[in-house]
Every structure is written in structure tokens, then in C-alpha cells.
Amino acid sequence: MGIVYPTAEILSAWGIAMPSNRGRVISRQKCRICGTQGKYQIKDMGGIRVLMCACCGRFPANIFAIEIQWQKRLHRITHDQAGRKFANLQETETALGLIRQQIQRKEFYPEEWKSARSNKYLWQNYLQEYLKREAARLLPHDRKGTYDRKVSHSKHMTWFNGKNIKEIRTAQIRDYAALPCLSLCLADKTISDLMGELRHIFRDAFEREDIKKLPIFPTIEVPEREIRWYSSKEQAAMLEKIPEKHLPIFTFLSIYGMRPGEACALMTDKVDRAKGVFHLTRTLGRSRQIQDKTKTKKADAMPIVDWFDSYLEALPPSLVPLPVFQNPEANPGKNPLKHYKLDALTKIFKKAIKEAGLPGITLHEATRSSLAMQLYHEKGHDIEAVRAVLRHRNLAHTGRYAQADTQKVRSILSGNHNR
């Protein structure tokens, strides 16, 4: 009576997987000695296994491939999952073992075993495809700035090159976040943005089912910068040093707390004096182009208040829309409508605050942030009122202005601070 072996089904019921022997290592090379093509067998040469020409037994192959039948197709694999050519027999056999495991676990994807150039899951290739998708998503909606930031972030991600995105786990993300070169050459805020972008890439990959599991991303703490602002007195001192011809736009920025780009882009077609409102539908981007949306994407109606109404009344009538604030020093050749540009505004502003002996802050801080701080800390309005004036969509952003150091505010208001 012979021995009865358990069947594969029984073994698998016991939790023992039968080793699969599907697939084999081959070479399609032509033997340099006898000229036979692609007939090789594995030989043990004193402990070293080589793929030897089966015909003459004297030529060892140095180009390797795996042939494996899978889903009714014969697949020939010549590269590992990092896109590198198999360098020797050992590597090829290891890869074959891995492929057998993947098939058993139903995790075998032949497209992952391609050359670096054609493996779309390799980080550098995947990132290029991701950026193409993001370009198609963002560029038609005037979001070139966002797209450009993504491109510049992607340049700090070369550490992942050569890795298959399916194999990048939380551990690699942590190693990357802890790289000394990141913290040496980038600000905390930039690293935090970079991690945010990386998380976005992986979340996108997860939703597309390109990866099975979403790695966990570390949070980078960014200390909130102290809000710098001018009191009403300081702001008045600043306006005193602005040359008369440039005063309207600076007065407007101080009263309304517009983003400077919005003030530059405001044109007469968006002003309705009869109804007493104007609409912010455009802004001047960093690329110096007038864009048709403000940061909040909503066209906000703003009331025309006393000073602005008299300013508008004094504007010469025009049949075509003109910038509400025109820069008399603009170069008519390059800028026929005489829009103020952000660079020009900043230059005038810096000169004025230097002459006034005021602390150096940005134009945005001197107008928009200052208006918020004055409303809240000097005039006693609540955060909701500040939000309404600044047109923030939610209070979280506005809340920053309420958290400012009250001691400092007190000293500024009592006028006995030294800076």
C-alpha cells in the first residue's frame, strides 16, 4: 500500500500553501560559441548557479528573462519592479519567486515589471502623469499659480525616484520627511506644503486604485507668524508720505483692506455708483496678468463709501472700461491702460514707510491686516464683522487676528511703544 499524500486543497485548508512552480527563467540570447539561440539550462558550477547553453555547455547567458503563463497569456519579464534589467541569474530567480507569491496573493500586475521608461508606477513616471492630470484639472480654471507650486514641489521629491509607488509605505514617507537636507534648505512652511502635496499625490493614487493602502503622513508644525500691522496713527503717517498722485489707491487699500492685486485689477465696468456698489471679480496675479477671479472665487459686492464715491465722481467719463486707479507713471507702451502693478505699488509703499520711519512690513500687512486689527482691537468690532469686511469665507482664517498679543496691542494703542 502506497503513501497517500494530502492534496493541495487539504494543505491549503491547513493553511499550508503549495509552492507554485509556474514560470521559468530563460534567456533568448544566441550562444557565442555554438550559435544556438535560446536553449539554456541551469547548471551548478561549484556553488554558483549559471544559465548555461544546453547545446555546447560552455557559454553562460548574461541576459535574463522570466517566462510565465498568467491569465491565458505568456508574459516575458526582463526588468524588476524598480525598472532595472535583471543583472544575474540569482536576481531573476528571486524575481520569479516574488511573482509566484504575487500570483498566489492575486497581487500580480505585469505592468509593474517593466523597464524604467515604460513602468508607469515608477515614482518619476507616476509623478509626470500626475502633473499632467493636475494641469488638465487646474489650468483651464486660471489656477496656474497652484499648478506652478505643484511643479516646484515635485522637484523636491526626487528622493523617491526609482521606487514603485505601490511599494512606498509609511516608513519611506517618514524617512523622507526626516531627511536633513529638507530641513536645511526649506522653511517649515514649505516642508509642510510639500508634505501636503505628497499626501495629495498618494490620496489621488489611492482613489484611482493605483495603490492599495494610503501611507500615514507626518504633520509638520508651522509656528504661526506674528501678525504685523499698523495702528490708525501709523497708517496715517504712511499715507502722509505717499506722493499725491499715488494717494487714491493707497487710501482705497487702507479703507477697504482689499488685496493689493484686487485694487490693481478693479475696473470701471465693475463699479455701479447708482446702486452704490462695486464688484471684485478680478485680481492681478503674480504673473502680472489680470485674472477673472479673486482668491475666494466669488464675485463679492462691496459698498461704495463716502471717500470712494467722491473719488469716482471726479473720474473723467470714459466709453471703455478703465482701471479705477491708474498709475500716472505707467509705461503706455507696455501698459496702455495704466494699471498699477504690484511691483510699482510695493516700491512706492517702501519708500513712504522709510521716510515716515515706520517699521518694515508688507503692503498687505500695512493695509489688509492693519484694517482687520484696527477694526478688532481699536474699534471694538467682533470677528464676524472683520470677516465680513475681509470677505473671508470662514472664521478660522479671521480668528488669527483676534489671537494677536493683547499686551502689544495695548502698548501700540497707548502710543508708548518703542520698536
Residues that bind Zn ion (CB under 5 A): 31, 33-34, 53, 55-56, 59
**Shortest gap between Cβ of 39 and Zn ion (angstroms)?**
8
**Shortest gap between Cβ of 4 and Zn ion (angstroms)?**
44
Nearest residue to 165 (alpha-carbon basis) of 70, 105, 83 = 83
Closer CB to Zn ion, 58 or 410, in the complex: 58
**Shortest gap between Cβ of 26 and Zn ion (angstroms)?**
15
Nearest residue to 368 (alpha-carbon basis) of 256, 246, 281, 225 = 256
Cell of 240: 502722509
Closer CB to Zn ion, 37 or 158, in the complex: 37
Nearest residue to 124 (alpha-carbon basis) of 161, 159, 152 = 161
Single-letter residue type at 31: C
Closer CB to Zn ion, 60 or 323, in the complex: 60
Q: Quickly tell me which residue has 544556438 as its cell.
A: 36
Backbone angles phi, psi at 42, to 5 degrees: -75, 130
Closer CB to Zn ion, 59 or 325, in the complex: 59
**Shortest gap between Cβ of 42 and Zn ion (angstroms)?**
15
DSSP H helices in 88-122: 89-104
**Shortest gap between Cβ of 24 and Zn ion (angstroms)?**
19
Instruction: State the burial class of residue 221 (Cβ atoms within 10 Å of its Cβ: 0-12, 13-18, 19+).
Output: exposed
N- to C-terminal Cα separation, the chain: 102
Rounded Cα–Cα distance for residues 195 and 207 (Å): 18
Instruction: State the burial class of residue 400 (Cβ atoms within 10 Å of its Cβ: 0-12, 13-18, 19+).
Output: middle
**Shortest gap between Cβ of 38 and Zn ion (angstroms)?**
11
Closer CB to Zn ion, 29 or 283, in the complex: 29
Closer CB to Zn ion, 53 or 198, in the complex: 53
